Structure 1
Amino acid sequence: MIYFDNAATTQAYPEALKTYQEVAMKIWGNPSSLHRLGNQATRIMEASRQQIASLIGKEAGEIFFTSGGTEADNWALKGIAFEKTSYGKHIIVSAIEHPAIKESAKWLSQHGFEVSYAPVDADGFLDVAAFQGLLRPDTILVSIMAVNNEVGAVQPIQVISDLLADRPTITFHVDAVQAIGKIPTESYLTDRVDLASFSGHKFHAVRGVGFLYKKSGKKISPLLTGGGQETDLRSTTENVAGIAAMAKALRLVKDKESVALTKIVKMKEIILSELRTYDDVILFSGTDGFAPNIITFGIKGVRGEVVVHALEEHDIFISTTSACSSKAGKPAGTLIAMGVPVKAAQTAVRISLDDDNDMGQVEQFLTILKQVYQKTQKVR
C-alpha cells in the first residue's frame, strides 16, 4: 500500500499508540477528582501540556486541549467574537480557509456579525493589499490559515502580523493544523499571533484530540460550559490518554523535523518534475512559497475522483483535495477562490507526503500514474 493522503490524516506513531494504551490502562482516573487516581491523571496531563508548550516555544498556561482542529477553530472564532462585541462586530477571514473557519464565520454572520473575505491571488496566496483595505476601526478578529490544506500555499503570517502590530484591539488567529513539522514554528507563531489551532491526528497522534494556543492575557468566551475544566474555558472531562499520546507524537515529529523535511522535499521535487512532462496535466501548486508535502494537480478532462479510484485499484491512496469536502463532490474551494475555472477545478487531486513515504513508493506511484494518464487519453 502507498498512502499519499497525509494532509487528511496521518498514521499514528507506534510510540504514540503505546503511550495512549499505557495511560488509558494505568492512569484512568478523572483529572477533576480529588483522590490519588485523579491526581495521577492531572500530573500526566499537565506534564503533557508543558511538553507541548515547550515544543512550540510557548508557556504551559497558554495551551488548552480540545477534541481537534475543528473545535479549536470554532472556539477561536466564536469565543473571540462574543468576547469582544464592545469593540466591534467586524471579522476578516481569508477566502481559502478550512470549512471549520468558513462555516463558523458564516454562522457568526447570521448572529449579528459582519464577515469580510480577503481574496487570494492566482497561486493561492493572500492578497495583502486587499486584506489591508478590509481593515476597519470596528474589526475585532482576523483569521488566516498558516498552510492551505488544498494546494499547500503558505500564507504570509509575518506580513499580516506586521500590519496588525499597531492594532491591539484586533485578535489574530491562525489555523496551524497543516503547519507542524512542515514549516518553521516561528513563521506562523509570531509574537503578534494571539490564537492558533492544532489537530493531533495531522502529526501522527491519535484522532479526537488537539489544542488551542491562546496568548497569555487574551480573553475568550468558552464554547463549552459545564464542569469548569481548562481553567473554566473548556468544560468536559479531558482525554488524558489522547493528550499524552499527542505530546509524545509532537516530540517525535520535532526531533526528526529537519531530516524528514529534506526527504519530503526531494520526493516532491521528483514528482513535480515528472508531472511537468505531461502535456495534459495542470499543476495547481508548486515549490516556492508552498508547503513541502503537498502537490495538487489535475489531468485535463478527467474528474479528480476518477483518478483517485484508478490509483486506489493499485493500492495507492490520494485525495480530491480537502478530505473534509471530497465526498461532497464539490470542486476545491481554494481553487475557485484562485480563479481556476470550475471544470479545471473538478480535475484536482492532492498528493500529501510524509517521511513515512520513500523513493520506492514515489517510483511506483509515477509508474501507475503514467498508466492512468495513458488510459484517459480518449477522455482528454
Structure 2
Amino acid sequence: MDVYFDNSASTRVSEKAIEIMLKTMREDYANTSAKHIKGVDAEKYVKDAADIIAKTLKVKKSEIIFTSGGTESNNLAIIGTAMARKRYGNHIIISGIEHPAVYRPAEFLMEQGFEVTILPVNAEGAVDLEVLKSSLRDDTVLVSVMYVNNEIGAIEPVDEISRIIKAKNKDILFHVDAIQAYTKFKITPKTQGIDMLSASGHKFHGPKGVGFLYIDSSVKINPIIFGGGHQRGMRSGTLNTTGIAGMGVAAKEAYDDFEKKIKNIVDLKYYLMDNLEKIEGAVLNTKRGENFAPQIISVSFEDIRAEVLLHALEDRGIYVSSGSACSSNHPGISGTLKAIGLREDLLDSTIRISLSELNNREEADYFLKNLVELLPLLRKFVRK
C-alpha cells in the first residue's frame, strides 16, 4: 500500500484538471495574445479560470494576476509593493515563521536599504499582536503574514492583524501568503482587509508551475517581470494556458461540497492525533481547535532523527515530510520550530503529516501500525 501524507508539499492533480489541460495542449494550444480565433479560444480558458478564482474569493476577476506559483506571487507582492511605495517609507514587517518565499524577498529588500521587523510568535505559532502594534511606524509600507504556517499548521489572526494595521494607517498594505490556506478556508479579502493574497495551484490538486496573486484594484505595485506587457503590464510573459486552466478547474472542485471535504479531513486529522498521542515519546506540535488548519499535523518523536524515520517509513510506502519541502534540500533546523520554543532535543526529530480529501482511515491505520513497529527498532540505534 502507498500512503501519501505529504499534501502540503504537493497534491495529486485531479482528473478533471488533467482533462482540461490535455484539451489545451491537443486542441486549444494557441498563444492567448494571438489575434486569430484560435488565440481567442485559448484566452477563454484564462478568463474562465480568473472568473472561477475571483468568485471563490468574492473579488473582481480583473484583480487576479496569474503567476508561476506561490514563490513568484510572494515576490511580486513584497518587492513590487516596496518598490512602488519607497518614497512613502522603507519599513516592512513580516512574522518570524514565514516561508522562505517571503523571508528571502524581505532579506533582498534589506540589502536595498529597507528595514524589516520580524514579529515573534507564541508557543502555538500565532503572531504577537501587541508587538505588531508597537512595531508599526509612520514609514511602514507593508505587512506580510502567512494565513497558515506550512510546518505546524498554525492559523494567524489575519482579521485582527488587518484591523490593527488599518487603524494605524489605512495606506499600509497587507499581504497574506495563503498558499496553505486557499481551498482550506473560505477567504474573502474584501471583508478581511487583505490587500494582496498569494496562492499556488499544486497545493489544491492543480498542476505545478502556476499560481495567482490577488491584488485589490485600489493597490498600485510595481511589476518585477518585464516584457510584452501581459496582464495589464503587471506580469509579462506568455500565459501558461494549460496550467491556468487546470488550476481553475481544481479551485472550483475544491470549493464544491467544501464543508463535507473539510470535515472529512479534520476527522482524519483528529483520528491520527488521538493515536499519535498514545505513542511513547511523541510530542504533538499541532493542537486541536480553530487555531490550526485542518490538513497539517506536526509531531516530534524523542530519540529519533526525522530524516531516519522519514526514510524508514518510505521503505514501507509511506510518504511524509521532515518540514517544508521547499527547504528540505537545505539542511538545517526549522526556524518555525525554534520560534515556537520547541525543546532543543526535538528540533531534529519532527515530521509533518499533511492530508488531503483523497486520504482515508485505512491509510491512517497502515501508517500508525508501521510507525508503532518502526519507532522501537530505530531507537535501538540511537547513540546515547
TM-score by length of 2: 0.96
Paired residues in the alignment total: 379
* Range with greater deviation from structure 2 (133-142 or 257-266): 257-266
Partner of 1:263: 264
Partner of 2:99: 98
Q: Please state how far the C-alpha of 1:337 moved relative to its aligned partner.
A: 1.2
Give distance in 2, aligned partners of 1:256 and 1:323. Answer: 29
Candidates 340, 343, 354, aligned match of 2:342: 340
Q: What secondary structure sits across from 2:133 in the alignment?
A: helix
Note if 1:181 corresponds to 2:183: yes
Q: Please state how far the C-alpha of 1:327 moved relative to its aligned partner.
A: 2.4
Letter in 2 for 1:276: E
Partner of 1:52: 53
Q: Please state how far the C-alpha of 1:212 moved relative to its aligned partner.
A: 0.2
Q: What secondary structure sits across from 1:375 in the alignment?
A: helix
Note if 1:29 corresponds to 2:20: no
Q: Is the Cα–Cα contact under 8 Å of residues 57 and 186 in structure 2 kept in the other structure?
A: no
Q: Is the Cα–Cα contact under 8 Å of residues 304 and 379 in structure 2 kept in the other structure?
A: no
Q: Please state how far the C-alpha of 1:56 moved relative to its aligned partner.
A: 1.7
Give distance in 2, aligned partners of 1:305 and 1:134. Answer: 38
Give distance in 1, aligned partners of 2:190 and 2:369. Answer: 40
Q: What secondary structure sits across from 1:42 in the alignment?
A: helix
Partner of 1:38: 39
Give distance in 2, aligned partners of 1:279 and 1:38. Answer: 61
Give distance in 2, aligned partners of 1:63 and 1:370. Answer: 46
Candidates 291, 306, 309, aligned match of 1:307: 309
Q: Please state how far the C-alpha of 1:326 moved relative to its aligned partner.
A: 1.7
Q: Please state how far the C-alpha of 1:57 moved relative to its aligned partner.
A: 1.1
Show the 5 A alignment for 1:154-169.
154-166=155-167, 167-169=169-171
Q: Is the Cα–Cα contact under 8 Å of residues 296 and 354 in structure 2 kept in the other structure?
A: yes
Note if 1:136 corresponds to 2:176: no
C-alpha deviations, 1:259-294, integer Å up to 9, x for none? 111111111111111111123112111112111111
Q: Please state how far the C-alpha of 1:340 moved relative to its aligned partner.
A: 2.0
CA distance 1:262–1:75, change in 2 (3 Å): same
Q: Is the Cα–Cα contact under 8 Å of residues 66 and 211 in structure 1 kept in the other structure?
A: yes
Partner of 2:318: 316
Q: What secondary structure sits across from 1:173 in the alignment?
A: strand
Partner of 1:84: 85
Of all paired residues, the percent bearing the same amino acid is: 39
Q: Please state how far the C-alpha of 1:342 moved relative to its aligned partner.
A: 3.8
Q: Please state how far the C-alpha of 1:26 moved relative to its aligned partner.
A: 1.2
TM-score by length of 1: 0.97
Q: Please state how far the C-alpha of 1:189 moved relative to its aligned partner.
A: 6.3
Show the 5 A alignment for 1:103-118.
103-118=104-119
* Range with greater deviation from structure 2 (370-379 or 131-140): 370-379
* Range with greater deviation from structure 2 (118-127 or 321-330): 321-330
Q: CA RMSD in A?
A: 1.3
Partner of 2:333: 331
Q: What secondary structure sits across from 1:112 in the alignment?
A: coil
CA distance 1:93–1:80, change in 2 (3 Å): same
Q: What secondary structure sits across from 2:221 in the alignment?
A: coil
Give distance in 2, aligned partners of 1:189 and 1:328. Answer: 37
